[in-house]
Amino acid sequence: MNLNDCFQQGLLKKEQPDKLKAQKSIEIAVHKLSLAKKLLNVKIYEETVTSSYACMFHAARALLFRDGIREKSHYALFLYIKEKYDGKIEKRFINELNALRLQRHEISYGLEKLSISHEEAASLIALSEEFLTVAQRLLKA
């Protein structure tokens, strides 16, 4: 699947750019980052992963709202960011967004319990915090 497929299948839709929705999505990302940190402190690592991903998802979603794009799929959001923000967002963030998307999916829907260490969960929080900062910088540009 590519970006054109996403638009043709309605997984991405063009609409008016919306700075207010972009700002609200950033606020949600900040909240999810705060939740991830609290969950880490009480050693609930699976939910730390989920909240870290939610932070990155909402930060990326803010960019789509600013661009006048509405997503109906987490994968479509990833493809949009990968293509439209190539060179503006480091590839490591884009790759980690996708990896974390898959990990969150496995945590939420998989039949096997994942073993997540404190260090891994803390690393994901740091990653999502960096990504949030990048998204906020891009929104101001």
Question: What is the sign, positive or negative, of the torsion defined by CA atoms of 40, 59, 89, 80?
Answer: positive
Where along the chain do its domains lie?
16-140
At how many degrees (to 10) do helices 91-109 and 45-67 cross? 130
For 3-17, what is each residue's pLDDT tens digit?
A: 999 999 999 999 999
Per CATH, which fold does 16-140 belong to?
A: Four Helix Bundle (Hemerythrin (Met), subunit A) (1.20.120)
Predicted pLDDT at 125: 97
Predicted pLDDT at 26: 98
Give, in degrees to the nearest 5, the angle at Cα 18 between 29 and 67: 85
Q: What is the DSSP string of 64-75?
A: HHHHTEEES-HH
Predicted pLDDT at 32: 98
Residue 27: how many other CB atoms lie within 10 Å: 12
CA distance linking residue 11 with residue 68, whole number of Å: 14
CA distance linking residue 7 with residue 26, whole number of Å: 24
Please check whether residue 124 is in contact with residue 48, taking contact to mean a CB–CB distance below 8 angstroms: yes
Please check whether residue 6 is in contact with residue 73, taking contact to mean a CB–CB distance below 8 angstroms: yes
Predicted pLDDT at 14: 97
Predicted pLDDT at 114: 82
Please check whether residue 97 is in contact with residue 78, taking contact to mean a CB–CB distance below 8 angstroms: yes
Low-confidence residues of the chain, pLDDT below 50?
A: none
